[in-house]
Amino acid sequence: MAVIPGGRRSLSRGLAALAFMAVGAVAVVCAARTGAPAIPLSGRAGPTPRSAVLFIGDGMGQAYVTVTRVARGGSGGRLRMDTLPYTALCRTHSSDSPVTDSAAAASAMACGQKTANGVLCEDATAIYAKRDGRKLESIAVWAKKNGMHVGLVTTTTVTHATPAAFYANHRDREAEDEIAKQTIASGFDLILGGGRTFFAEDLRAEARRQGWEIVETADELRAIDDPGRHVLGLFAERHLPYQPEIEAGHKQTEAGKTAEGMPGTAAGGLARGGESRDATRTAPTLPEMTRWAVDILKKSDRPFFLMVEGGRIDHAGHANWARTLVDETAAFDEAIGYAIDTLDPKTTLVLVTADHETGGLAMNGYPDEKDGIWSLYRDPFGSKGDGPYPVITFSSGPGTTRQKHEPPHGPDDLRPSGIALESAAHTGVDVTLYAWGAGAEEVHGTLENTAIYSLLRGYLEGRPPAR
Ligand SMILES: [Zn+2]
């Protein structure tokens, strides 16, 4: 994609028989759960998917998509997700707040019911960190029970809220040590991300006893090409480094240098967020993990469910790091591109969405196209030639205060925020759900995020979807 002037960087065993079953007129039954009125579906006939990929851009509100598109390709640019043919708007509220956290949002998508912020796949009777609710079964756990291959890919710890909602039940998303035991117990086919720190040697030994193969570098992952193995990728102590850091690390490795003095690597041996320095040289990027996962799942005859999370889009948003946010969203978009270039739209449904928006990202008017969005603008209606003002801002976050950590792109990455918070707040705006492939035509209108579960469950079970 062209770089703009002024921009500085640039289902179950036997379900195969149902795979091509046409969907007839469909009815809707999920209203009882959400209290929302039933939404009539289109009833258009189309193939029923036997496999599905759910991409979740954590924090990736619509402004993130727009800013990434314009930053990378100018106003006329197009991201891969822009090309997906069907869209809907999703409401993201949790059971106890108009503004969700990632645990409640992922639980809604994974399990089909709203829960309280901070709770993983327990019903709305759970009280965050205090009381368990009724345990819910995620679409991934259901798929595994029904003989499908199941994979999770993330750039956060594999025990973080979004991936965890697909296999764990816990009243407290922060209990990652306990969630790690549920990671192993899931019996999924592949789980890739960070979080070594939550897998002590005794837990690793237990994982190996249960048939897991643990890999810690991109090279070790690439060496596996057999779809019949359980692969647990733990590529960093905690979250994976940001995309530009991994790219810089890979370049360093290619050049045969050490990681000493590498841009974006903090003193003391740790990159931001506690990632190990080695991870910048050895960890795979999100597109690399997604390519590996898609390729290996395609090798099997079994239908599959894969969830891919761009987990650090949200972290860049919390930090008000706009350029890093663009890098993370662009990497997520590249991963989506590989899926839609590689998978069969007659048998596979690809959904792309966000769990919520982070920080209230805004692109303020009116920069000159040639100056781009990293420039400043003057208010054309201001009586005194007001400005210049930054084009990219946030509604909350540390952008107005001193940063604790140096962003990958240097201080210039930090954008102003309206409400000074150490970490930007999520916002409660609707997010976009994009769809491609078999069954995508049922994605339209406005939906609760719980409808994602209903669509996937219905399709993968080989029956008309309920949403
Ligand atoms: Zn967040």
Distance 224 CA to ligand 1 centre (A): 33
Residue linked to tokens 């994979």: 151
Distance 28 CA to ligand 1 centre (A): 32
Distance 84 CA to ligand 1 centre (A): 25
- Average pLDDT estimate for 363-374: 91
Distance 297 CA to ligand 1 centre (A): 29
Phi-psi region of 387 (alpha: psi -120 to 50; beta: other; left: phi over 0): left
Cα distance between residue 118 and residue 133, in whole Å:
12
- Average pLDDT estimate for 217-235: 94
DSSP, res 150: E
Distance 257 CA to ligand 1 centre (A): 35
Distance 164 CA to ligand 1 centre (A): 15
Predicted local distance difference test score (pLDDT) of residue 254: 83
3 state DSSP class of 33: helix
Distance 213 CA to ligand 1 centre (A): 30
Q: Which two tokens stand for residue 21?
A: 């079953």
List CB-based neighbours of ion ligand 1 within 5 Å: 314
Distance 305 CA to ligand 1 centre (A): 24
High-pLDDT (> 90) share of the chain, %: 73
Long-range contacts made by residues 131-136, C-beta under 8 angstroms, separation at least 24?
131/171, 132/171, 133/171, 135/169, 136/107, 136/111, 136/112, 136/169
Distance 342 CA to ligand 1 centre (A): 30
Distance 312 CA to ligand 1 centre (A): 9
Instruction: Delimit the domains of the chain by residue range.
Output: 52-172+290-362+433-467
Cα distance between residue 243 and residue 422, in whole Å:
23
DSSP, res 270: B
The pLDDT-based confidence of 385 (bands split at 50, 70, 90) is low
- pLDDT, averaged across the chain: 86
Superfamily of domain 52-172+290-362+433-467: Alkaline Phosphatase, subunit A (3.40.720.10)
- Average pLDDT estimate for 161-182: 98
Over residues 329-366, the pLDDT tens digits come to 999 999 999 999 999 999 999 999 999 999 999 999 88
Distance 314 CA to ligand 1 centre (A): 5
- Average pLDDT estimate for 393-408: 85
Cα distance between residue 95 and residue 123, in whole Å:
9
Distance 270 CA to ligand 1 centre (A): 22
Distance 357 CA to ligand 1 centre (A): 8
Cα distance between residue 164 and residue 160, in whole Å:
6
Give the contacts of 277 (CB within 8 A, at least 6 positions apart): 259, 262, 265, 269, 270, 271
Distance 102 CA to ligand 1 centre (A): 6
Distance 99 CA to ligand 1 centre (A): 11
Distance 345 CA to ligand 1 centre (A): 32
Distance 317 CA to ligand 1 centre (A): 8
3 state DSSP class of 427: strand
Cα distance between residue 254 and residue 249, in whole Å:
9
Whether the predicted pLDDT of 274 surpasses 80: no
Whether the predicted pLDDT of 424 surpasses 50: yes
Distance 355 CA to ligand 1 centre (A): 9
Q: Which two tokens stand for residue 371?
A: 């100056």
Residue linked to tokens 């619509």: 62
> For the ranges 12-21, 261-270, 360-369, 398-407, which has the lowest average pLDDT?
12-21
Over residues 34-82, the pLDDT tens digits come to 444 333 344 444 678 999 999 999 999 999 999 999 999 999 999 999 9
